[in-house]
Structure 1
Amino acid sequence: MIRFEALNAKHGDALLIQYAWKNRKRLWIIDGGPKGVWKQTLKPRLEELRGDDSELAVDLAMLSHVDEDHVTGILQMTKGLAEQEDGAADFLEIKRFWHNSFRDIVGSSASLQAGMTSLAGTQAKAQVAMASADPQLNIGDGSLDQRAVAVLASIGQGRELRDYLTKLQLSGNEPFGGTLSSKSGSKVVDGAKVTLVGPIKSRLDAFRQKWKSESGNAAALAALFRDDLDESPTNLSSLVMLVEIAKRKILLTGDARGDDIVDGFKDAGLDLPSKLDILKMPHHGSDRNITEKFLRSFPAKHYVISADGKYGNPDSDTIENIVSVRGDGDYTLHFTNDVKGLKTQLTKLQKTRSFEFEIRAKSAPSLAIELG
């Protein structure tokens, strides 16, 4: 039995995967949600899984990308363990951790430092902007949207996380090693086959060259974060991976763009379309990340959307498009939170199309999908 849980992570992601291999339960943690999720939801759920045991083995912890709605809970977890804080989840035994830090994305510590020295003022403005309801940041002749501002504002958190992982001897992305990308290949980890799909290696290389060449120009560096650039760190930051356990397929997408995921599949040498058991919809169901080609490339039995209405997610158009592309079929849409108009839209769509939907009960810490 494989159990996939999407916890109540507000407007972010906090996911658990549980399965058995070699007569032992395996547990993966993917992302930790924004402020409040660690204490309110994720840590209590891990304590519940521990039960009466003195320790809880976490076979893999993973941060898809540095953005406050994914990294904050992970940062609290690792900081508590590394600093041996009072109230830390010291019952956790984390065996490996996967994450591309911003240093990994830019290519070296020297390149990171050179660029961040120039970008310091802009990053500070991004951190202030994140406190607004709709974060935007003007840069020269253009602007950065919420997604780009969030990545820029969270770079410092990524550096902090890297320090904690080093202290916990969890750095290195083992057994892949180095920066994870579409050319990292496949590895079998505790009985699960994992294939890296994103970020796309060629785009990562292109960004590194641009970052290095513009390291002394703050405006040019900030412009690299624009969401419409394929090589922007916004579109390179999310780890995307196909997980195969006992012939079941789960696609973890972080906040990657739908077209990037399609391209990453091809770059990794995987065939399309790819029928999935679970598709974690990218970027909390934002319609900016979803294309018809993406939906046709990944028909799924279960679609999971983690969102609470913030920034308009999930977009009603995303839901409409999934149902339109899939038509009548044996599939279910899963939502971590009820948002205004969601049930009304789904009920209306069910009048013309055959599908199921599930919204997490308010009293439940998560919605769970079990694959036999």
Structure 2
Amino acid sequence: MISIEALPAADGDCLWVEWAHRGRTRRMIVDGGRGSVLLERLHRLPEDDRHIDLIVCTHIDVDHIDGLVALFGQPPPGLSVGQVWFNGRRHLRQDIAGPRQGDRLEVLLDRAGTPWNTAFGGGAVVVPDRGDLPAVRFAGLTFTLLAPDRRALARLDAAWPDVLADLLPPLEGRRMTDEDAATPLADLASAPYTPDTTAANGSSIAFIAEHEDGGRILFAADSPAEALLNGLRRLGEGTPVALDVCKVPHHGSARNVSTDLVSHLACDHWLFSTSGARHAHPDRRAIARIVAGRPRSTLVFNYSSRTTSPYGDDAESARFGFRTLLPRGDRPGVTLRVSAGRVETTGPVRSGGATS
């Protein structure tokens, strides 16, 4: 069994993952979200029980990396980390020479002496062009890497100055509402699709984690649909890949959830990590593609907000047969307990939709 706690990380990802192996609890953190939510979660643990077996920083966008920079910048008392997966500046090209130009997290990891990408020989966390997908066995979990590939890391290297300049863009001019808010889902399932081509999102570390006793989860980060599809096709050899839960890529952006991607996933539980505050995620086009492609799906949100709450009582759910799980009231965050073929929620959630 794997427990996934989608912490209230504003518009970002901060996933607290626990599972049992050899008589003790193991922990993984996937991204740090914005602000102090990760540090607050760590402080809920006793000082003598603040060991994290694995931390994955999927990519350098602020809504994923900010909390990790805070964590390594001022570690809480008692913190120890088994290993970190993160593609820093040094990993973006195979032929890097000369002085290293690292971002802040890279410097902090070096200073802390934390084991870094050791499962990949200290090199990049990357999918090779040929052969089997990388599979890492770690403390009772098997990780199958789907993305990124070398081309994606090279694109980030070439775009590095522009990416850094865009890490903290102003809110002015950003889309704060979904332009499809008033359009029925039935009319959006076949709406035009435009892929995500941003260099930072394309470099996302995306993987499937499977527990030795059952439970299979896709941690899709902000990966473009096409990058995920490349890995899924190699893994499934043309057949849909069975999952218990999919952490929806890029918080449910319509540019990262395609009809083709949904068709390659045999999955009934879709986890959305976002408050919708900065980009109005999730997009209704992404929701429409999921519920049309996987009828009777369960949509799980870690916030009850203006962009997520409408799905809790949406009359359109009767047509597609989906249901929703949302936090109650002003208590954001949600926890899923995942075993083979079974997904349960813990904590205060409310259920809505046609099949609730």
TM-score bracket relative to the smaller structure: 0.7 to 0.9
TM-score of the two chains, using structure 1 as the length reference = 0.73
- Look up the match of 2:74: 80
- Look up the match of 2:92: 105
Q: How does 1:181-260 map to 2 (within 5 A)?
A: 181-183=126-128, 185-201=134-150, 203-204=151-152, 207=155, 211=158, 233-245=199-211, 246-260=213-227
For 1:15 and 1:73, locate their aligned partners in 2 and report how far apart those are by CA, in whole Å.
11
1:304 corresponds to which of 271, 280, 292: 271
- Look up the match of 2:112: 168
- Look up the match of 1:149: none
For 2:95 and 2:107, locate their aligned partners in 1 and report how far apart those are by CA, in whole Å.
15
The one-letter code matched in structure 1 to 2:247 is K
Q: 1:206 Cα shift?
A: 5.9
Aligned residues of 2:7 and 2:14 also touching (Cα < 8 A): yes
Residue 370 (structure 1) aligned with residue 337 (structure 2) = yes
Q: How does 1:22-101 map to 2 (within 5 A)?
A: 22-34=22-34, 36=35, 38=36, 41-48=37-44, 50-51=45-46, 54-81=48-75, 89-101=76-88
Classify the secondary structure of the residue corresponding to 1:180: coil
TM-score of the two chains, using structure 2 as the length reference = 0.76
For 2:250 and 2:20, locate their aligned partners in 1 and report how far apart those are by CA, in whole Å.
29
Can you list the C-alpha shifts for 1:46-105, whole angstroms capped at 9, x where unaligned?
222x24x52311000110100010000000001113xxxxxxx12221111100113312
- Look up the match of 2:344: none
For 2:200 and 2:333, locate their aligned partners in 1 and report how far apart those are by CA, in whole Å.
28
For 2:78 and 2:145, locate their aligned partners in 1 and report how far apart those are by CA, in whole Å.
30
Q: 1:167 Cα shift?
A: 1.7
- Look up the match of 2:253: 286
For 1:171 and 1:305, locate their aligned partners in 2 and report how far apart those are by CA, in whole Å.
30
Q: 1:290 Cα shift?
A: 1.2
* CA RMSD across the alignment: 2.9
Q: 1:112 Cα shift?
A: 8.1
Aligned residues of 1:334 and 1:357 also touching (Cα < 8 A): yes
The structure richer in helix per residue is: 1
- Closer, same or farther: CA 368–345 of 1 in aligned 2, 3 Å: closer
The one-letter code matched in structure 2 to 1:46 is L
For 2:331 and 2:109, locate their aligned partners in 1 and report how far apart those are by CA, in whole Å.
31
Q: 1:171 Cα shift?
A: 4.5
| Runs of 5+ consecutive residues of structure 2 not aligned to the other structure | 166-193, 340-356
Aligned residues of 2:301 and 2:308 also touching (Cα < 8 A): no
1:335 corresponds to which of 301, 308, 314: 301
Classify the secondary structure of the residue corresponding to 1:167: helix
Q: 1:259 Cα shift?
A: 1.6
Aligned residues of 1:7 and 1:367 also touching (Cα < 8 A): yes
Aligned residues of 2:225 and 2:261 also touching (Cα < 8 A): yes
